[in-house]
Amino acid sequence: MHLFTDFGLDGPYAGQMRGVLARAAPEVPIIDLMHDAPARDPYRSAYLLAALAAEMGPDSVCIAVVDPGVGGERPPVIVSADGKRFVGPGNGLFEMVQRRAARARAWTIDWRPEKLSASFHGRDLFAPVAAMLARDEWPACSQMAEGWRDDPRRPGASWPDDLAEAIYIDGFGNVMTGLRAAGLSERATIEVAGKLFSRARTFGDVAESQGFWYENALGLVEIAVNGGSAARQYGIEAGTPVIMRT
């Protein structure tokens, strides 16, 4: 069971979800992918989730909760992408996962627990449903109509295949972008916050305090500084555009 949320670890929310999973599927190990996804931001989070999902096993279950519209009109969904199953809000969070899959299906979750908080579907709805899937059980749900992947009205339909901007800054100040590195040449130069960055293989291949970009372990373009914080040194924050120069 994989968890991907924007809850953080300081409050009770991630722990409450883990508690539900431990009771409902005690034999299933729980893996925390991340709990500091871009807060209230399904758009940028969708690109991070897709990159992390590439490492998940073919029969994995993932609860992903970045849900600023919790309790509103957005539907609760299950998405199956090449056999990996995702549970969470239907707000575009799974757009890149399903778009990059060879086979994808989706369902709207009809099942409801006896008690459903208006503001914590992660604990009350998504965690129990994910536990059912982990036990090879299916909740009551409605499969989305054929052609749902091509419906221009679905959340996320207009989002680009790769996002040319900063989407996440880690604790070291390294800046992940929504661009997959496989689409860039070895000699590509990018501009971020008015600074040009050339490609390097890793930190030790450049001088100390020098900025560069590289393909990170998730396959994304990442801006870094050898021995320093790229975010602080160059004033980069989430949403800063990435411009291709060569």
- CATH for 79: 3.40.50.10790
Q: Rounded to whole angstroms, how far apart are CA atoms 236 and 230?
A: 7
Same domain, 40 and 143: yes
Same domain, 131 and 174: no
CB 192 within 8 A of CB 223: yes
Residue 158 lies in a domain: no
At 25, the pLDDT band (50, 70, 90 cuts) reads: very high
pLDDT at 151: 85
Q: What's the domain range around 37?
A: 2-150
Residue 99 lies in a domain: yes
pLDDT at 246: 79
Same domain, 95 and 198: no
Sign of the torsion formed by the C-alpha atoms of 36, 216, 169 and 86: negative
Residue 131 lies in a domain: yes
Same domain, 23 and 128: yes
Q: Rounded to whole angstroms, how far apart are CA atoms 63 and 126?
A: 7
> Comparing C-alpha atoms, which of 33, 26, 31 is closest to residue 131?
26
Global pTM value = 0.96
Same domain, 142 and 104: yes
- Report, in angstroms and rounded to the nearest whole number, the Rg of the chain calculated over CA atoms: 19
Same domain, 6 and 124: yes
Same domain, 15 and 130: yes
Per-residue pLDDT, averaged over 159-177, amounts to 98
Task: For residue range 38-54, list pLDDT tens digits in order.
Answer: 999 999 999 999 999 99
The residue with tokens 């975010």 is 231
pLDDT at 193: 97
